[in-house]
Amino acid sequence: MTDDAAPLPSLDELLPSARVVALPLVTRFRGIDVREAMLFEGPEGWTEFSPFAEYDDEEASAWLAGAIDYGWNAPPPALRDRIAVNATVPAVDPDSVRAVLARFPGCRTAKVKVAGGDETLAADVARVRAVREALGPEGRIRIDANGGWNVDEAEHAIHALAPFDLEYVEQPCATIDQLAEISLRTKYMGIPIAADESVRRSGDPLAVAEFAAADILVIKAQPLGGIRRALRIIAAAGLPVVVSSALDTSVGLAMGAQLAASVPDLEYDCGLGTASLLAADVTRDPLVPVGGSIEVRRVHPDPERLDRYAADAERTDWWIERLARVHAVLEDAAATTAAPVD
C-alpha cells in the first residue's frame, strides 16, 4: 500500500463540524454507563475520535490519527460487503446472559468478559457456562480478560474454563512477556491466545508476533492510527486477526468494518457488533448485527440525535481542549518526521 495520505488537517479544519456526544449503555461496560465520543466531518465523510478518558495525550494521538485517516483519505478496496461479528457479553450475572445475546441476532460467536476487578473466577465460570448453554454445542465462545490476570491466575482460569470449548483467550495477562509465558504453559491444551492491548498499547505493535506471545492479533482501527496503518501491521505480523471495536458509535464501527473488509484473510468473526451495547446511537440506522453480520458502509449521523445526545457544556469543553492538545502531539510528530537529518 502506498503512503499517499492527505496532509494533517489543521485544528481549524477539525473544529467547525466537531460534535461531542454522550451515549447511554444498555449494561455497564468497562466500568462506564455512558460512552462519550467526538465526531467530525472530513472530505471522505464523518469520522470518530473516542479514546477513553483515562488515556493520555500521547496514546490518544494514535486515535486522532486514525480518525483523520478515515475522514481525509479514500479507503482501500473492500474485499467483502458484510462482516460476520460476535456477540459481546459484559460481566453480567448468568440469568442476564440470554437477554444480552438476544441483542445480537444471528451471531453464533460470543466474546465473554472475564477477570473483572470485583469478579471471582466462580462468577466467570458461571457466566461462560450460561453462554455455552444459550449457544449450544455449535456456538463459539471466546473470553476476554483485558490483561486482568497474572500468569498463575491465567493458567488456573484457563483450566477452569477449558471445558466450555473456548475458541481463544484474549489478553489473559497484561505484558508481552506474560503472554509468551502463558502461551507456553497452556500450549498443550490447544487453546489459542489472542493479544489486544499488547498490540495497540505497545510501542512496537509487532512485538507480540516477534516474541511468539500470541496466536491471534486483535486489531482496532482507531487506536492503531487508522485503516492504512493497521493493514500494514497485519501484513507484517503474518498472524490471523480479529478486527474489533472500542465501544464506538456506529460512525467508528463503520471505520472498523472498512478495515475488516480490506483484510485479505479474515478467518474469525469480528468484534464489531458492539452498537448493540448502546442504548442510543448517533444515527437512525445503526450498524447493529442482522443475521450475524454488519454492513460495510459509511454512517452519517442524524442531526437530531447529535442534538439529543450532545454532551453537556463542561464535557464538550473538555473534549475540545483534549482535541487541541492531541492535535499538537500529531503536529510535533509530523514536524519531527519532516525535519532534515544532519
Q: Of 19, 103, 142, 220, which is the active-site residue?
A: 220
Question: Which candidate, 103, 107, 38, 102, places its Cα nearest to that of 67?
Answer: 38
Query: Hey, what's the cell of 324?
Result: 487541541
Question: Which candidate, 96, 29, 94, places its Cα nearest to that of 248?
Answer: 29
CA angle 48, 51, 55 (to 5 degrees): 160
Q: How many whole angstroms separate alpha carbon 87 and alpha carbon 170?
A: 15
Handedness of CA 121, 122, 125, 131 (dihedral sign): negative
Q: How many whole angstroms separate alpha carbon 222 and alpha carbon 201?
A: 12
Q: Of 19, 35, 103, 113, which is the active-site residue?
A: 113
CA dist 324 to 42, 151, 191, Å?
17, 40, 44
3-state helix, strand, coil in the chain (%, to 5): 40, 20, 40
**220 classed as catalytic:** yes
Q: Which residues does the annotation place in the binding site for Mg(2+)? A: 144, 170, 196
Q: How many whole angstroms separate alpha carbon 122 and alpha carbon 299?
A: 41
Q: Which amino acid is at 102?
A: A
CB 328 within 8 A of CB 15: no
Query: Hey, what's the cell of 175?
Result: 505484558
**Which of the residues are catalytic?**
113, 220
